[in-house]
Amino acid sequence: MSNFANFAVTDTEFWIRSLIIAGVVIGIYLVALWGAMILWTYRDAQSRYESRQVWVGAAALVGLFNLPGMLLYFAIRPQEPLIERFNRQLEAEAFLGEIFKQDVCTQCNAPITDSFVACPYCRAVLQEPCASCDRNLRAAWTICPYCTADRGQAAAAVAASGPSRTPVPSVAARRPATGGVSLTQTQVKKPVHVS
Ligand SMILES: [Zn+2]
Ligand SMILES: [Zn+2]
């Protein structure tokens, strides 16, 4: 009888110990999951917000409310990560840049339009009438695109050198080395170009 009683106590203890171990394992698992959720939220917030306070706030939200906090974060976070938003803006700017590509003077890089025959800034001749059909041709064109007349050696030489994109020296670079001499009005008024 005493043997049976001993066995029964041992058996109960075994189950209690097993339950405690299982509880500890499940507890560790839940804590690890909770920590991972906080860490994940912090990193996700980093990719979507610029402010450190928001990263901490989002992580704290999940830390305090756990799964409901995470669902709330999912509901309010921006759809687009910062890097994607940045790339999309770059693409949009490149696209607009293509559409509104600014024509520039081949000599001084000043902004010009298609119809300019000469550069109003540096007086460079931009277009000359075709000897054959009299339509205005760009200085670099080797033949007339309207009547196919050959424009000769001069135009070919211009075309070979290509549109000269000599950078305009900055105001600082053009400032006289000797102090005291101020820039002239024409120097100051020289346009700053968008490349
Ligand atoms: Zn010019
Ligand atoms: Zn022509």
pLDDT in tens, 4-60: 555 566 888 999 999 999 999 999 999 999 999 999 999 999 999 999 999 999 999
Ligand 2 midpoint to CA 153 (Å): 16
Give me ligand 2 centre to Cα 141, in Å. Answer: 11
For strands 103-104 and 111-112, give the pairing. Answer: antiparallel
Residue 73 and residue 62 in contact, taking contact as beta carbons nearer than 8 Å: yes
pTM beyond 0.85: no
Rounded to the nearest 5°, which phi and psi values hold at 128?
-130, 145
Å from CA of 118 to ligand 1 middle? 8
Ligand nearest to the CA of 111: 1
Phi-psi group of 123: left, alpha or beta (phi > 0 → left; psi -120 to 50 → alpha; rest → beta): left
3-state secondary structure of 27: helix
143 C-alpha vs ligand 2 centroid, how far in Å? 8
pLDDT tens for each residue of 148-159? 988 875 555 555
pLDDT above 70: residue 176: no
CA of 166 to the centre of ligand 2 (A): 29
Listed in sequence order, the residues at least 6 apart from 149 whose beta carbon sits closer than 8 Å to its beta carbon are: 130, 131, 132, 133, 143
The two structure tokens encoding residue 89: 């803006």
Q: What share of the chain is helix, strand, coil (3-state, %, to 5)?
A: 55, 5, 35
* Angle between the N-to-C axes of helices 2-48 and 82-99, in degrees from 0 to 180, rounded to the nearest 10: 20
Using pLDDT thresholds of 50, 70 and 90, give the confidence band for residue 76.
very high
